[in-house]
Amino acid sequence: MPKQAIRTAVKVDLNTPAWEQPQLHNRWHPDIPFSCKVQPGEVVNVECLDWTGGQIGNNDSADDIKYCDLSRIHYLSGPIEVEGAEPGDVLVVEIQDVQPLAEQPWGYCAIFDKNNGGGFLDSHFPNAAKAIWDFEGIFCSSRHIPGVRFPGLIHPGIMGCMPSQELLDTWNEREKELVGYHASIGTDRVVANLPLEKSAHAGSADSDSAAKVGKEGARTIPPREHGGNCDIKNLSRGSKSYLPVYVKGAGLSVGDLHFSQGDGEISFCGAIEMAGVITIKCDIIKNGVKDMCMKNPMYIPGPVEPHFGPSRYLTFEGLSVDETGKQHYLDVNVAYKQTCLQFIEYFKKFGYSGEQLYILLSCAPVQGHIAAIVDIPNACTTLGVPVDIFEFECLPKEGGFDKIITSDCAFTSGK
């Protein structure tokens, strides 16, 4: 039988507010109605808005980043009912393609204000900043970070199945306990985002169900046992994800599409965020959760990614010693921060600002690794930067470097 045209299972409208589109949602809850149905083995297209639902514009100001309404994130396409999927099964999702929407061939990467989202290095970069990236086939470049061009590894930041009520209650209880503990010891930062009725969007749910979703629905910010916001850059074309199923029909949702991302997505909005379309095929492994002893998702990376020779990565190291000189015990968080800061200080010599480099480190195809975690007291982390993404020579040399970059990224109007 001849192949049929690929069906678009979920379609989005760039000109309609995200919260008015019933095929989208921004909370995890089993009472959110399915937006469509697919058959096992069927290949479908799923269109997605960018994670904010269109709050960020292609302009030279970061005001939209500073004032972005994070109560609305993330807008996901779905939930998609997969015929025959039942609790205890494993949903196999093969990503066959991911592309930007033809009518929006650009994306953005940003530093969120420390008081509105923050990021991995927000103590060093507390203010909002933004870079717009233009797409040219597989390549991207930015007027806000000149001298750089690289191919994207396009992927979804979020993919997961709907939780059961039991699993949802577990998430809410343990995250509430975490928030309560840190409040009791005076922790001066947000450690988890609990259910929030403001801006909750429950797709096509009726008013009573929507109210319940607002009160109980888990925020889409972290990864959890069902998948969620894992931000794994290798979940690209050709990859397969194995997701536990908790409700009848699975309730697969996907969104937060990225044109490119560095390991860690460190600036919070650290990938090149975009609106796009993902082509997927779903299959079912019956009773797979038990048979594979699955607690969390698994995946097989796709065969398509940018290739840089091993000798073309300039690699920085970091240890569990913070910038004040204080020793920490096998602290990977501290070590990776030092790795990132060393990269930033090195490339400042070429004229880039710290904000430009923080953004670049978040979205370029860098390789972050834990090199050692047993040699007390220091963990050792590494960050490999492909030097071929730069349009100038940047390897270490005697005599220092010339400052060749003279423009900066977009800042807020008050900066």
DSSP β-bridge partners for residue 272: none
Question: Cβ distance 121 to 323 under 8 Å?
Answer: no
Pairing mode of beta strands 106-111, 43-48:
unpaired
Both tokens assigned to 67: 């004032």
List phi, psi (to 5°) of 15.
-100, 0
Distance CA 131, CA 348 (A): 17
Number of H helices, E strands in the chain: 6, 22
List phi, psi (to 5°) of 337.
-60, -45
Distance CA 298, CA 315 (A): 28
Task: Please give the single-letter amino acid code of residue 283.
Answer: D
Distance CA 162, CA 370 (A): 32
With a CB cutoff of 8 Å and minimum separation 6, the contacts of 43 are 6, 96, 279, 280, 281
With a CB cutoff of 8 Å and minimum separation 6, the contacts of 94 are 238, 239, 240, 280, 281, 282, 283
Write out the chain's pLDDT in tens, 415 residues: 567 899 999 999 999 999 999 999 999 999 999 999 999 999 999 999 999 999 999 999 999 999 999 999 999 999 999 999 999 999 999 999 999 999 999 999 999 999 999 999 999 999 999 999 999 999 999 999 999 999 999 999 999 999 999 999 999 999 999 999 999 999 988 999 999 999 999 999 999 999 999 999 999 999 999 999 999 999 999 999 999 999 999 999 999 999 999 999 999 898 999 999 999 999 999 999 999 999 999 999 999 888 898 899 999 999 999 999 999 999 999 999 999 999 999 999 999 999 999 999 999 999 999 999 999 999 999 999 999 999 999 999 998 888 888 889 989 886 6
Stated pTM of the model: 0.96
Task: Please give the single-letter amino acid code of residue 187.
Answer: T
